[in-house]
Structure 1
Amino acid sequence: MAMNRIAIGHSGEASHPDVLKAALAEFISMLIFVFAGQGSGMAFAKITGGGEPTAAGLVAAALAHAFALIVAISVGANVSGGHVNPAVTFGAFIGGNITLFRAMVYWIAQLLGAVFASFLLQFSTGGIIAGAFAPGEGVGAWNALVFEIVMTFGLVYTVYATAVDPKKGNIGIIAPIVIGLLVGANILAGGAFEGASMNPAVAFGPAVATWTWEYHWVYWLGPFVGAGIAAFVYETFFIAHNSHAQLPTLDQ
């Protein structure tokens, strides 16, 4: 069972040079992803004068996030495994592919990267602030929670199938593309309803910048539940190994 492979690790990991390098890689990857992804939405708002959301804006956001995530995963893959998402890190932990102490270092780096990107965007745009994630009109918090669970399940399941599974073969080469495309598709599906975060750090940055926390729990609970389920399912039914190493790099 996947739960039997969970490893806590030891506190010394937090100061190990390799872990710190991996954390820096996660910070930079998250900065790249949030700056481009959130920046695209802010650019659209500026072009339209803050007008109502449109289908074109949704497509632009989906493409920007997909492209940025492909790059962010690729540049971090050889150092940290290219998680770029606290939920992906949580899924890796549930599956026994990363220790708890290493995961906590990753989470701190990812959150700091998202916050730094949000304030950097605010400064670069002359004071424009990206809005915090929240359910759309007519969508309740529990509806949004289901969206986040389902979409993040698909995301982490895809990560396992293309980047973690030791049987992945040559598919690992295109893992960042496949993962990025799924995120873009999920934004097209859920963006109009609740923002389609699938990533607690992506929601955390704007929440800190705007100090808006009303629905923030949705964008933590949903991704973590979805990621945990995906990791448990894939590890239990499709992987037969016992490893506590970081997510495999794409060239393995």
Structure 2
Amino acid sequence: MALQKSIFYCWREALAEGIGTFILVFAGTGAVMVNQISGGAVTHLGVSFVFGAVVAALIYTMGHLSGAHFNPAVTLGFWVSGYFPKYKILPYILAQCIGAFAGSTVLLIALGSVAKLGATLPLNGNWSQSFVLETILTFILMLVILGSGLDRRAHIGFAGLAIGLTVGMEATLMGPITGASMNPARSFGPALVAGIWQHHWVYWVAPILGAQLAVLVYRQLSQGFQDIK
């Protein structure tokens, strides 16, 4: 009943989150799949660019509708920071996961079972390495989100560019090692549709931990978030 009530009050925002996450997974993991189908025509750098570009585009498109989270770790980070209401958490995360699942399903139908549908896996099964790196990557991403998107002192209109560039940079840097997910929903969609669950927990725990650490740090930098108001 509580879930139904919370969805009723924020269904438009949740729908925007679902659509946005669908587009993110469709474009980003789609680029991974097309890169394999085309024999590397997209390239790793191209895949990284697609992820960064689609994130930037979605922030400018959906930011005024839902806040443009598209990421459970970001949603939880905003909640802990005090800038997101508790009753929206579950609808947002459910919408993000459903959107990711839908994106991977469409890709499976359209392109077939290639490139593991863009599933994120630790290189050589080294989950501890991926755990540390995913935590750091998400820490950096969340710090940029807070500084460019939440802090009112930041230059207006540049949040999407800053966040998109950060995603693209981190995907270029660590994509071959961890998949550079930084987003539990992005990892969940391909894992569910492809049935690839090895070390999947890493891509939930590490991003959430990294985002929470960024909130703690930015809280100190902004005097308990007082400076950003």
TM-score scaled by length of structure 1: 0.83
Q: What is the CA distance between 1:101 and its match in structure 2?
A: 2.2
Counterpart in the other structure of 2:168: 184
1:127-142 equivalence runs, <5 A: 127-128=113-114, 129-137=116-124, 140-142=126-128
Distance in 2 between residues matched to 1:15 and 1:35, nearest whole Å: 25
Conserved? CA contact 2:17–2:68, under 8 Å: yes
1:171-250 equivalence runs, <5 A: 171-238=155-222, 240=224
After TM superposition, the runs of 4+ consecutive aligned structure 1 residues lying more than 3 A away are 10-13, 126-129, 239-242
SS of the aligned residue for 2:182 comes to coil
1:21 and 2:12 aligned: yes
Identity %: 31
The one-character-per-residue Cα deviations of 1:1-47 (angstroms, maximum 9, x if unpaired) are xxxxxxxxx86761344x11100010111111111101111111001
SS of the aligned residue for 1:121 comes to helix
Q: What is the CA distance between 1:239 and its match in structure 2?
A: 5.1
Conserved? CA contact 1:13–1:102, under 8 Å: no
- Can you give the 5+ residue segments of structure 2 that lack an aligned partner in the other structure? none
Q: Amino acid of the residue matched to residue 119 of structure 2? A: A
Q: How many residues align?
A: 226
Distance in 1 between residues matched to 2:179 and 2:165, nearest whole Å: 16
Distance in 1 between residues matched to 2:130 and 2:111, nearest whole Å: 29
- Can you give the 5+ residue segments of structure 1 that lack an aligned partner in the other structure? 1-9, 243-251
1:155 and 2:141 aligned: yes
Q: Amino acid of the residue matched to residue 109 of structure 2? A: F
Conserved? CA contact 1:165–1:239, under 8 Å: no
Distance in 1 between residues matched to 2:122 and 2:107, nearest whole Å: 23
The one-character-per-residue Cα deviations of 1:119-168 (angstroms, maximum 9, x if unpaired) are 0111111454514211113x611110011000000000000001111222
Distance in 2 between residues matched to 1:21 and 1:147, nearest whole Å: 34
Greater fraction helix: 2
Deviates more, 1:228-237 or 1:188-197: 228-237
Conserved? CA contact 2:3–2:90, under 8 Å: no
Change in 2 beyond 3 A, CA 1:46/1:153: same
